[in-house]
Structure 1
Amino acid sequence: MNANKALWEKGDFTRIAESMRASGEAIVARLGITPDLTVLDLGCGDGTTALPAARYASRVLGVDISEPLVAAGTRRAERHGLTNLTFQQGDASDLGEFPDATFDLVLSFFGAMFAPRPSEVAKEMVRVTRPGGRIVMGNWIPGDPTLVAQLLRISSAYSPPPPEGFVSPVTWGIDKDVVERFTGAGVPADDISFARDTYTFELDASPSEFLATFKTYYGPTMNAYQAAEANGRAAELHAELEELFTSQNTNATDATTCIPATFLRVTVDC
């Protein structure tokens, strides 16, 4: 079975996505999407950015490796009456079913960065984007002190070594790696720009309860706990993550959680 597919079909990412809705809507509102645009959202999950994009664009297609997330996104589109929004299962590194120059705007916020074969991901994103169109990615940054980068760092420290040839997803948060991938896909370096941006996780639950959601429903964290348990280090991992979630919470009360996380926003003009 496709290991990436298995990872994102483990647990239930919709439970994490509930804390991401407001920032997803805010990001989309700043993208300048107009009613004449056709949009592809890669690694879309259940539609955190695809759904608000559909309120601006003529047509939005969400593609995700996880079939349960595609089904969840379809249900959300139906509930909101968005007939111009559809979801389908697919792999960001192989979009062969789409002809060249199909989309005006290709989005991927914390999605395509997790696909294997990053150079192929860049080539496919460029190939399906129309001349004059844009690609906009949001990618977590390695070594960043905020939540997600630290969660992935801690989780990897308790997990088995990755297979040979594995390329870390957070290399998509390194400017020079991103430039190398998109120039390799034929984009001039001057047409690739970067900005640091903030994504905020918000929910009516304590940081401990938020961590419990990751432990129960987020594939990478689930794998880390399983590996730590097998090595007798589960309590150590849990203590480290409790400290992370509690210290990152900016709310004055522990009854609610608001955690900002820094990411690299990549814009590619095609």
Structure 2
Amino acid sequence: MTVTTNPNKELWEKGDFTQVAASMRASGDALVARLGITPGTRVLDLGCGDGTTALPAARVGAEVLGVDIAGNLVAAGNQRAQAEGLSNCRFQEGDASRLDDLADDSFDLVVSIFGAMFAPRPFDVAKEMVRVTRPGGRIVMGNWIPNDPTLVAQILKISSSYSPPPPEGFVSPMTWGVEENVIERFAEAGVPADRIGFSRETYTFEYPAAPTELLAVFRTYYGPTMNAFAAAEANGRTEELHRELATLFTSQNTSPSADATSIPATFLQISVNV
């Protein structure tokens, strides 16, 4: 698949998102169960990471293609699929805003959970998702919500406050968490508002150690947090950033055990009937 210059490639290859994704597996399974995927369903998982959604979909018999901008995550996804013997699941590198090698009307379901929202050119992303979905098919997105008080929206908000300003023309991925923006983007792709549904759902991060240990995973492996710490270090604000994030992780932990972490995060689920 042709990949154009995309700043997200460097961002998501910088760390190792598989380490963060390990805390999201159970919610990935639950999401696939809610989607009601059946054997033989042709599924595109866009911004798939290492397969948190793609592999559960393949386990129930769907024919799954995962596409991600990060080569390391594509490799990890293929390794996971091969290890499970899932010949109906494969991963390849690609840009959600330019799916050059995917034919029109190729998929019954296009799903993107915290993936395509980070791609540049959101109107192009919407058009591409609609283009590759067959008439009568469905698009499902899960997007973080700007200024939401739960974990990931706050991580991204705090991280951005320590990071250099974005380049001119940058469109925040968090704009995908605003219903009016979603309606506008899909309208330009030819989908009327009455075929778009919204709900607020929860993804839970589960980690078998204290919240500060999960924070250490984000600090070490999650691109946006890594960039924030690099910028904070350059400005002598590392401890300030760490304290702010540690307070966030600890205060949102719902586990009754001090040695375990369970943090729910709210997201906007979008269902589009093509």
State the match for 1:107 in structure 2.
111
Counterparts of 1:144-163 in structure 2, within 5 Å, are: 144-163=148-167
State the match for 1:94 in structure 2.
98
| TM score, norm. by length of structure 2 | 0.97
Moved over 3 A (4+): none
Check conservation: 1:39, 1:57, Cα contact below 8 A: no
Gapped regions of structure 2 (runs ≥ 5):
none
Q: Could you tell me which amino acid in structure 1 is paired with residue 101 of structure 2?
A: E
CA distance in structure 2 between the partners assigned to 1:143 and 1:200 by the alignment: 18
CA distance in structure 2 between the partners assigned to 1:76 and 1:42 by the alignment: 17
Q: Could you tell me which amino acid in structure 1 is paired with residue 136 of structure 2?
A: G
Q: Does 1:234 align with 2:235?
A: no
Identity of aligned residues (%): 70
Shift of 1:94: 0.3
Partner secondary structure for residue 142 of structure 1: coil
Q: In 2 relative to 1, CA 254–84 (structure 1 residues): closer, same or farther, beyond 3 Å? A: same
Check conservation: 2:37, 2:62, Cα contact below 8 A: no
State the match for 1:120 in structure 2.
124
CA distance in structure 1 between the partners assigned to 2:261 and 2:63 by the alignment: 34
| TM score, norm. by length of structure 1 | 0.99
Q: When the two structures are aligned, how many residues end up with a matched partner?
A: 270
CA distance in structure 1 between the partners assigned to 2:228 and 2:197 by the alignment: 34
2:222 to 213, 218, 221: 218
State the match for 1:191 in structure 2.
195
Alpha-carbon RMSD: 0.7
Counterparts of 1:33-44 in structure 2, within 5 Å, are: 33-44=37-48
Moved more, 56-65 or 212-221: 56-65
Shift of 1:56: 2.3
Shift of 1:37: 1.1
Q: Could you tell me which amino acid in structure 2 is paired with residue 25 of structure 1?
A: D
State the match for 1:181 in structure 2.
185
Shift of 1:55: 1.7
CA distance in structure 1 between the partners assigned to 2:234 and 2:21 by the alignment: 28
Q: Could you tell me which amino acid in structure 2 is paired with residue 13 of structure 1?
A: F
CA distance in structure 1 between the partners assigned to 2:63 and 2:256 by the alignment: 41
Partner secondary structure for residue 30 of structure 1: helix
Q: In 2 relative to 1, CA 57–189 (structure 1 residues): closer, same or farther, beyond 3 Å? A: farther
Check conservation: 2:126, 2:186, Cα contact below 8 A: yes
1:135 to 116, 119, 139: 139
CA distance in structure 2 between the partners assigned to 1:43 and 1:125 by the alignment: 12
